[in-house]
Amino acid sequence: MLRFKILISGIIIFNLFNPVRLNGQGGTRDTVARRDLAIGVFIDCDRCDENYIREEIPYVNYVRDVREAQVYILETGENTGSGGRKYTFTFVGQMEFEGRNDTLVYHSRPDDSRDITRIWRTQMLKMGLMSYVARTPLYEEVVISPTAQIVEQEVTDRWNNWVFELDAEPNFEGEESYKELELRSSVSAVKITHDWKLEFDFDHRFSRTKYTYDDTLYTNDKSYKGLDILAVKSLGEHWSAGLRTNVVSSTFNNTRFGVDVLPSVEYNIFPYSRSTHRQFRILYGIGSSFNIYNDTTIYSKIEETLFLNQVQLAYQVQEKWGSINISLEGSNYLHDFSKNRLELNGFINIRILKGLSLRLRGGVARINDQLSLAKGELTEADILLQLQELETSYNIDGEIGLTYTFGSIYNNIVNPRFGNGRRWF
């Protein structure tokens, strides 16, 4: 990742002194920091270490309802071209802090450990909270000090924004009458700038299953190889144009060799610069698909060239009341419009009342485009071990969750003994 200016040793450290100051120790005044004088904070974040945040920032009250908070904090994240993450922190003042808002941004590196990332994510929370804490009696409990003199340094990027990743993952599971070996590997190359997005992803999966039944040993293999190529050109704050290509070989899908080429155009109703908070993207692509099959299909084809088009709609929003992620995708083959597929997927999290939240996640697909299904009867092993794709007209999955929390809003104590609830870590 190309960085023209880097600030070295510019870390700001916040130290919390003893909350009870007697005889002038630790400050110029004798102050007793009362918990009810601390500001109420609601942090809306994904996979953040809440215990660590409470330990590092003990001079605020963590409330469960956004309406009880004097400061609402929304953390959103996006992948960066280097393989790291861009975290955006939006601070919204409420009640007496109405109108006092701020936005901070932190970029993690791809080689940062989870500890380094959580330190800096928490550091950004500390920095953003200072303008609110400074207006409460607890301002005397926080000291801000730089670690060293700030130095500027020029940095050049010999990789020209390219990021490469190699991954290998062997898995083994076995018992007396059943054994399974799975090998997974992948290679990716990504270059992301404001003008271009280039992605090359190769994925290989192989599994071998052995099981014994009636003193007979059965061995079954399943393999997949796929290369995904994406090239996108930015055309302003709302438009993008690109080319998506997929090359695949899959025993499960009865495909010896397949390649899809789909030129596409996308329009985002909201500016791309606001993507961490709100998106409504509409994508249309039209192209061709060439396939060579392992076995003759149910349509008596061993190879064929097809033309298809695709429409995708994606809506994402993150606000104080919750978040919504919904996508709708439709596609069909141009030689026969009855060969089509329609998929709807979504995740919704809504805060209904004080302490009451509703979660909805689900997906449904109407499937009429399984042109690669192999002709003939499937064996029992093909069905039970999912070695071959089965004919179906739909797919559906989902879940619903309702959470209600009540009790003290001033308990900031962390106690990790015997794990966290039912978890040991």
pLDDT tens-digit readout, 18-45: 333 323 333 444 444 466 778 888 888 8
Q: What would the two tokens of residue 146 be? A: 């730089």
pLDDT in tens, 101-155: 888 888 888 777 777 888 888 888 888 888 888 888 777 777 776 666 555 555 5
Task: Name the token pair of 323.
Answer: 């978040």
Give 6-153's CATH code, choosing from 1.10.540, 3.30.230, 3.40.50, 1.10.3470: 3.40.50
Cβ within 8 Å of residue 281, ≥6 positions away: 266, 267, 268, 269, 312, 313, 314
- State whether residue 71 is helix, strand or coil: strand
Which range has highest mean pLDDT (9-18, 254-263, 266-275, 408-417)? 254-263
Contacts by residues 175-180 (CB-CB < 8 Å, ≥ 24 positions apart) = 177/211, 177/212, 177/213, 178/209, 178/210, 178/211, 178/212, 179/209, 179/210, 179/211, 180/207, 180/208, 180/209, 180/210
In a 3-state reduction of DSSP, which class is residue 252? coil
Q: Residue 9 — pLDDT band, cuts 50, 70, 90?
A: very low
Q: What does the pLDDT read at residue 149? A: 58
Q: How far is C-alpha 223 from the chain's CA centre?
A: 27
Residue 14: pLDDT band with limits 50, 70, 90: very low
pLDDT digits (tens, 9 = 90+) for 402-424: 877 666 555 545 455 565 555 55
